[in-house]
Structure 1
Amino acid sequence: MSTSTRVSIVGGGIAGLALAAALDPARFAVTIHEAEPDRAASGSALTLWPAATRALRRIGAGEVVDRHTASVAGGTIRDLRTGRRLLPSASARLTIVPRPELLAALEACLPSTVRREQALISDPSALDADIVVGADGVRSRVRALVRRSRPERTPTGYLALRGLSEQPPDTGDVGEYWGRGRLFGLVPLQSGAYWFTTHRSTLGPEPINPREALAEVRDVFSGVAAPVQQVLAGARAERVVVTKLWVAPGMGRYARGRYVLIGDAAHAMTPNLGRGAGDAIIDAVSLAPVLGSRFGLARWQARRLPFTQGARVASGCVMNLALSGQPQRMLGRA
């Protein structure tokens, strides 16, 4: 009788749950190590592109996809101060799902054999497993076992607020508003709207009080386009998530020995391309069939690393353009 391969997944967020749901319970004995399981109840909304929704369907999470997928006018870039359109909109088939719903859908897909341990893993090398997967986000401890030189996350100096509004946005107000050192975005949901901001801030360290952050944002974004001010004026602190923006260092590999990285642990990036959650899901679902296979893992890494590292760099470039105060020169003729 064959023995199952023991897999320890460090991190019970989107990447970790998606991998645990995708792994064959007949081949793998899976344990998820998560220090803060209560975090699943918090969060705003996430954008998933079609490749990510196809991956969710492969593991049985199609219901959450069907419930939240819609044709959304995206790509509209506006001047933050005036609201003037700088880049025209285009329709895209997107899934914009509340984070708690996505995590609940992934939980529902887990095989009954998956074990859960509530613990902070400070030394992943001590885990008694054949394979250790770092799905532990931008603060990853597993990353140091794969990238041995300077594995620490990198600060961007920016603060991000993400919130939900019960008021559906006017179609003409949807999009991103770019200005010097400030960015605002507004996206429609099935019910209400999802909004987000980015700006330089001295608030900290984390965790940051949402009321203080919201007060600062209202001050920093005073005098901008009316739709932005209206959303921020009606924002409720209890529905706002506040985080400093950090990115992962550049990676030349995602696997070393028995250690593998997925999601933000491998390629945390600024949120400007809307790819973070989706790439984490694709990482996990595409890794599951080859985990434990040396050559299969090498092929997986060869596919995923250039694409996700390219997205990491590109998202930073978009962030720099959005906050440069110069987008009019590049986009104003569109």
Structure 2
Amino acid sequence: MSTAIIVGGGIGGLATAIAFLRKGWDVEVLERATTIAEVGAGLSVWPNALRALDALGVGAEVRARATEEGAAGIRDSKGTWLSRSDTDLLRARYRLPIMMHRADLFDILRAAIPESALRTGITVSEARTDGTVVHSAGTSTGDVVVGADGIRSVVRRAVCGEVAPRYSGYTAWRVVVTPTEPMGDLGESWGRGERFGYAALADGRVYCFATGNMPAGTAGGGLAELRRRFGTWHAPIPGLLAAADEGALLKHDLYDLPALKTYVAGRIALVGDAAHAMTPNLGQGACQAIEDAVVLAEVATRDGDLTRYDAERRPRTQMIVTRSRRIGAIAQLSAAPLVALRNAVLRLTPSTAQANALAPVLDWHPPTR
């Protein structure tokens, strides 16, 4: 029986493990942390990823623990609409994305994998193109080695050497809160070098996220910083920040990867952030990792020619990385004249054009034999 060694036990790694298990492979997941868990934040699962989750056999359970994202759009800091999504059009053409807690998706994926396949507390130091993985407990060998170990991947070194992530120029805050007032329509609000967004979760809580331009590694930036930046923005933003817990707040500088020349070398293939880390502006980071999982297992099982995985996944994912980076650059504009121009263009852009622009991202279907 063929064996897949998967380095990394995040969403991409677990999805890949399920994909290979469903193809009849033995699977070994190597995770550095002593406990496989996910941080507390929200996650948009778009229709393309839902199709991939259906292919993994967990789509129904995911939908049961999520809520459909309804009316949304972009406002300015005072609450004036700049752009509103045509929900009926999006539902008819693609279906709407769903919103869920990352930990819920993680739990669903982990439950689909035998405990015997998960090895925690394992630090990988090297991956070799012959299928050998050197780690803190010895070595493992597989017919395929999957680098699912994130933006600072160790496995990636064997594929394309050292690759430095690119800082986006802005940081992000994330927190889940229990609202104390009605939410109304959801979405994002754009200011000058700052954004704030919120979305409902299935359990009645609200996932909040914010961004701000600043140098990488800027210290501080807790709730006091968020309230200073966004406390005078339109409702319900001040109320959401008032309900937030400092201990639940996450802050991360946002990076992506430059375009790699390949995602494969010998028996190694990269998935998720190890291959194509992207900014979250399209909500596609986890979605693309799940797509990767389905395609990689299909290619590896069909004939083992991993270059076909690279040929299928690299152009698509790098297109999405580029789009997400460009959207972030526009959304984070800070110069007043450019912000005014951006907002005017948003107001004039018809919702049909917005829907059409999503086609290359959302019109994806899992491979079929």
Q: How many residues align?
A: 325
2:75–2:189 Cα contact (<8 Å) kept: yes
List aligned pairs for 1:105-254, cutoff 5 A.
105-111=108-114, 114-125=117-128, 127=133, 128-130=140-142, 131-148=144-161, 150-167=162-179, 170=182, 172-190=184-202, 191-201=204-214, 204=217, 212-254=221-263
What are the superposed Cα offsets for residues 274-308 of structure 1, whole Å, 9 maximum, x if unpaired? 01111111111221122266665333322221111
Give the TM-score normalised by the residue count of structure 1: 0.88
How far 1:245 moved relative to its partner?
0.8
Looking at structure 2, the residues matched to 62 and 323 of structure 1 have their Cα atoms a distance apart, in angstroms, of 34
What are the superposed Cα offsets for residues 134-172 of structure 1, whole Å, 9 maximum, x if unpaired? 101111111222223x51222223221111122287454
List aligned pairs for 1:184-333, cutoff 5 A.
184-190=196-202, 191-201=204-214, 204=217, 212-291=221-300, 296-325=305-334, 326=339, 327-333=342-348
Moved more, 236-245 or 131-140: 236-245
Looking at structure 1, the residues matched to 124 and 159 of structure 2 have their Cα atoms a distance apart, in angstroms, of 16
Percent sequence identity is 36
What are the superposed Cα offsets for residues 12-42 of structure 1, whole Å, 9 maximum, x if unpaired? 0001101111113785332111112536152
- Does the C-alpha gap of structure 1 residues 295 and 123 become closer, same or farther in structure 2, counting only changes over 3 Å? closer
How far 1:332 moved relative to its partner?
2.7
Of the candidates 73, 81, 84, which is equivalent to residue 85 of structure 1?
81
2:170–2:253 Cα contact (<8 Å) kept: yes
Aligned to 2:106: 103
How far 1:48 moved relative to its partner?
0.6
Looking at structure 2, the residues matched to 29 and 67 of structure 1 have their Cα atoms a distance apart, in angstroms, of 29
How far 1:181 moved relative to its partner?
1.1
How far 1:318 moved relative to its partner?
0.6
What are the superposed Cα offsets for residues 40-73 of structure 1, whole Å, 9 maximum, x if unpaired? 1522111111121222222232343221444423
Looking at structure 2, the residues matched to 95 and 55 of structure 1 have their Cα atoms a distance apart, in angstroms, of 14
What are the superposed Cα offsets for residues 184-229 of structure 1, whole Å, 9 maximum, x if unpaired? 1111222221110111345847xx77xx522222222243223222
Give the TM-score normalised by the residue count of structure 2: 0.80
Looking at structure 1, the residues matched to 201 and 23 of structure 2 have their Cα atoms a distance apart, in angstroms, of 39
SS in 1 for 2:325: helix
Gaps of 5+ in 1: none
- Does the C-alpha gap of structure 1 residues 171 and 146 become closer, same or farther in structure 2, counting only changes over 3 Å? same
Moved more, 25-34 or 173-182: 25-34
Looking at structure 1, the residues matched to 109 and 194 of structure 2 have their Cα atoms a distance apart, in angstroms, of 34
1:169–1:193 Cα contact (<8 Å) kept: no
Gaps of 5+ in 2: 134-139, 350-369
- Does the C-alpha gap of structure 1 residues 169 and 143 become closer, same or farther in structure 2, counting only changes over 3 Å? farther
Aligned to 1:14: 11
